[in-house]
Amino acid sequence: MSTSTNLSVGGKELVHAAINGQRTDRAPWVPFVGCHAGALLGVGADEYLKSADLMHRGVNLAIDRYQADGIPVAFDLQIEAEALGCELRWSTDTPPAVVDHPLAQDTPLDQLKVPGPNEGRIPIVLDATRRLRADHPDTALYGLVTGPFTLALHLQGTDIFMRMFDDPESVQRLLEFCSDVAIAMSRYYIEAGCDVIAIVDPMTSQIGPDQFHQFVTPYAKPVFESIRTSGGLSSFFVCGHAQQNVEAMCQCGPDNVCVDENIPLDFVRDTCRDNQASFGGNLQLTTVLLLGSPEDAEKNAVQCLAVGDNTGFVLAPGCDLPYATPPENLVAVGQLVRDTYRQEAVMAMSESADVQDIPDMSGYGQGDHVIVDIITLDSESCAPCQYMVEAVEKIAPEFDGIVRWREHKIKTPEAIRFMTSLSVKNIPTICIDGDIAFVSRIPPKDELSAAIQDRINQKARLRIRRHQSEIHILGQNTGDTIAIKDAVDQAVLETGADVVVHLVTDPLDFIRFGVEPDETPALVTTRNQVVSTERVPDSMAIKQWVQSLQ
């Protein structure tokens, strides 16, 4: 069941509005799919990140599957570094790692040139961008560019931190060069069709605000100015413990600031709003998206959406999604952003997480009536809940006197306890005699009717089985035993009794009935009452025993 609130507005338009700080009907959803798309295609990150075809197919798949409003073309902060001569070590399930640093190997800075659009893997990503642009005119495409500070670290190694003291001038020249690279890369992405350029500079989380102002701001600012001049939108992505720098990030002039779970989202919202920037984030990558369930992802998303308040906010993970992220977790987020009822339900259910005294419902629904429970948010305010209640209400007269139905609005602690005890996780849900029957789907009349009828039949069968009697005839497969069997069958036929007759010939089983092998043939009734041993009883007597079982 989907209750889209934005049928007329495309994802791209939503992303544009949110990044421009406007109020939107709902928050746009931008899953940061990088090498994870390789997992969707069943290929390793090392293969995926080297192929325009795979990126094109993988991102296409992710857009459709996750209902993305926006998406990065690639998430690989080593593309520029590789084009500038850094050696990479490739892995199957992570982006590559930079393993050597040309400037630390005595390559002078003036030998490095800003890479052209055809160097390294840049043409691959640009090719994928153009193809995706053609396929998805209504989806916002993000071009991810390595931030100047992080690129400088790739080129120089961590030695750069010592040089900040020993030779700050050389660090500043390097950062100027990295800034030029970021400006060029931004231009290539915009020309290829990207809507948003994200400057991804995670290494800046390592430093404090003083150093940020000195070594980041002067080099990031021109990049954001250039993106604006080129007609693109911009975002500043920093993951890690970067809370101290959020204000300084805003002051670099991006349209949007995006962070990960290490920074409280409300802090980012307030700081960004004070500085006229929109914001984004910060679904938890590991504990929720990678290791959690779809319910965990929904709960986390609802918390982020509440902070974002549909105003200048983009819902996104804080960083590159891990390769092995379970797709169902991202599917759940894609559905949730479009379903306000589901959001309300998840919010109500997250409040129920600490409910105590869950009743034992193992004996629920064993009475004569069939009980239909409808777990709703509130049928008076939630349309899908209302339709589900009406569906049950409409059909109930057909089962008058047999079916009882009730609505449980999860706005009360009792209803939440009830819902939890039946393991209901989605709203609305129909349970029949305590078993979950229809989840977030209004059943057609016939289907609901059939489900209830099935339960009625099931109960009737159980009732009959409970009342059914049994006779066991114990003995070797000899004439006497067969004679008893025949007499019993005849008596059942003549009396019309509801009795099942079993022949037990294995001596090891005799003992179960308290009969020794030398006491056979024997006849045992339902209540394990041994009524005859070592003889063939009179057929009239058998008939009386059979009758007594009714």
Per CB under 8 A, does 113 bind another protein? no
Q: If binding is defined by CB under 8 A, does position 285 make contact with another protein?
A: yes
Does the protein bind another protein through residue 203 (CB under 8 A)? yes
Give the integer Cα–Cα distance in Å for 548 and 550.
Answer: 6
Interface mask toward another protein for 326-345; x: CB under 8 A = --------------------
Least gap, CB of 428 to another protein (angstroms): 33
Of the ranges 121-129, 155-163, 368-376, 509-517, which one interacts with another protein (CB under 8 A)? 155-163
Residue showing tokens 């779809």: 294
Can you say how many angstroms the Cα of residue 235 is from the centroid of all Cα atoms in its chain?
26
Contact range with another protein by CB under 8 A, out of 10-18, 268-276, 283-291, 333-341 = 283-291
Q: Which stretch binds another protein (CB under 8 A): 1-9, 160-168, 333-341, 489-497?
A: 160-168
Based on the shown chain and the rule CB under 8 A, indicate whether residue 46 belongs to the binding site for another protein: no
Nearest to 484 by CA among 549, 548, 550, 531: 531
The CA–CA distances, whole Å, from 337 to 29, 249, 317, 386 equal 7, 27, 14, 21
| Dist. CA 410–CA 416, nearest whole Å | 5
**Which region among 74-82, 225-233, 295-303, 304-312 touches another protein (by CB under 8 A)?**
74-82
Candidate list 10, 44, 209, 327; residue touching another protein; CB under 8 A: 209
Using the rule CB under 8 A, give the single segment among 85-93, 418-426, 474-482, 531-539 that binds another protein.
85-93
Please give the C-alpha separations between residue 91 and each of 94, 322, 334, in angstroms, as whole numbers: 6, 13, 29
Between 104 and 134, CB nearer to another protein = 104
Cite the beta strand spans of 240-312 per DSSP E: 256-259, 278-283
- Residue closer to another protein (CB basis): 286 or 366: 286
| Torsion sign across C-alpha atoms 36, 37, 42, 48 | negative
Tokens representing residue 428 in the block: 């609305």
Beta bridge partners of 257: 236, 279
- DSSP lists the bridge partners of residue 469 as 499
Q: How far apart are alpha carbons 261 and 240 in whole angstroms? A: 8
437-456 positions binding another protein, by CB under 8 A: none
Applying CB under 8 A, among 28, 120, 202, 254 the residue interacting with another protein is 202
Please, which of residues 286-315 interact with another protein by CB under 8 A? Answer: 286, 290-291
Count Cβ atoms within 10 A of the Cβ of residue 242 and give its class: 0-12 exposed, 13-18 middle, 19 or more buried. Answer: buried
Choice between 117 and 209, CB closer to another protein: 209
Which residues of this protein are in contact with another protein, per CB under 8 A?
A: 76-78, 88-89, 91, 94-100, 150, 157-159, 161-162, 164-166, 168-169, 202-203, 205-211, 239-241, 243-244, 260-262, 284-286, 290-291, 318-320, 322
